[in-house]
């Protein structure tokens, strides 16, 4: 799951990226409202973590603009403004949750996970297809109920496929979720991770297989016995 961090404190961004990464999230970061608008127009994020004290625009104005354009991406406000009126204003502007600094990383992660478990959002605790399951919070892959060791990138590819539930996932979706705004993606990077995942699933006795839909993307299908 990829989130957008809108925060101008570089040291805090580094800590957030590391902390979120340990919990299965990938993160892009921008340090001003203008870049945030461009990032949100360029790709879909699971959630936004938004500071209010941005150098070019107040975060609440950014949030109101986001909601005014009909963008329903979950937004967690993360700010030093911790008064009751501040929290009320943030929620009224369209925030889904509000967390004051200083904060515990465990609470931030838990709040993000809670937001994404809400109806219509992207995070189900357990994703299952055939005999393959993924615990999205613990980042554990299970085949026939047995925990298997999958690397982070292959787990991320599997998560995208499981969320599509047997429907085709466009290649662009994998590029966005795996590499985000960095653009650090080789011409065959997605194919490499899909190939590795395909082999891992076969070696584990999975009843599902990753199929390539040429010119479109990939889908997960359950193989019929016999």
Q: Which long-range contacts (CB under 8 A, 24 or more apart) does 61-64 make?
A: 61/33, 62/6, 62/33, 62/36, 62/37, 63/90, 63/93, 63/94, 63/95, 64/93, 64/94
pLDDT of the residue at 187: 67
Going residue by residue through the chain, which has 226 residues, state the pLDDT in tens, using 9 for 90 and above. 789 999 999 999 999 999 998 888 889 999 999 999 998 887 778 899 999 999 999 999 999 998 988 888 899 999 998 899 999 999 999 999 999 999 999 999 999 988 887 755 555 567 888 899 988 777 889 999 999 999 988 998 998 898 877 788 888 888 877 877 665 666 688 899 999 999 999 999 999 999 999 888 999 998 865 4
Cβ pair 81, 103 in contact under 8 A: no
What CA–CA distance (Å, rounded) separates 140 from 186? 27
pLDDT of the residue at 178: 80
| pLDDT tens digits along 29-63 | 999 999 999 988 877 788 999 999 999 999 999 99
pLDDT of the residue at 218: 93
What CA–CA distance (Å, rounded) separates 36 from 29? 8
Q: Is the peptide bond before 102 cis (omega within 30 degrees of 0)?
A: yes
Tracing tokens 């699933």 back to the chain, one arrives at: 201
pLDDT of the residue at 194: 94
pTM: 0.65
How is the beta sheet containing 97-100 ordered, strand by strand?
A: 26-30, 2-6, 47-50, 75-79, 97-100
Cβ pair 206, 128 in contact under 8 A: no
| Beta bridge mates, 5 | 29, 49
Cβ pair 33, 59 in contact under 8 A: yes
């Amino acid at each position: 799951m990829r989130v957008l961090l809108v925060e101008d404190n570089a040291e805090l961004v580094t800590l957030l990226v590391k902390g979120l990464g340990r919990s299965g999230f990938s993160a892009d970061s921008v340090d001003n409202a203008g870049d945030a608008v461009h990032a949100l127009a360029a790709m879909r994020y699971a959630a936004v973590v938004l500071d209010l004290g941005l150098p070019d625009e107040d975060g609440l104005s950014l949030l109101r603009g986001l909601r005014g354009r009909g963008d329903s991406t979950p937004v967690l406000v993360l700010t030093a403004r911790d008064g009751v009126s501040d929290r009320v204003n943030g929620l009224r502007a369209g925030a889904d949750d509000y967390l004051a600094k200083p904060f515990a990383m465990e609470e931030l992660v838990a709040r993000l996970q809670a937001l994404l478990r809400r109806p219509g959002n992207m995070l189900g605790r357990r994703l299952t297809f055939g005999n393959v399951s993924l615990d999205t919070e613990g980042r554990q892959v299970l085949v026939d109920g047995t925990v298997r060791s999958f690397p982070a990138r292959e787990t991320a590819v599997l998560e995208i496929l499981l969320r599509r539930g047997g429907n085709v996932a466009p290649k662009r979706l994998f590029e966005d979720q795996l590499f985000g705004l960095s653009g650090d993606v080789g011409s065959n990077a997605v194919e490499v991770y899909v190939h590795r995942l395909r082999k891992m699933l076969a070696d584990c006795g999975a009843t599902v297989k990753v199929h390539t839909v040429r010119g479109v993307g990939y889908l997960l299908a359950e193989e019929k016995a016999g």
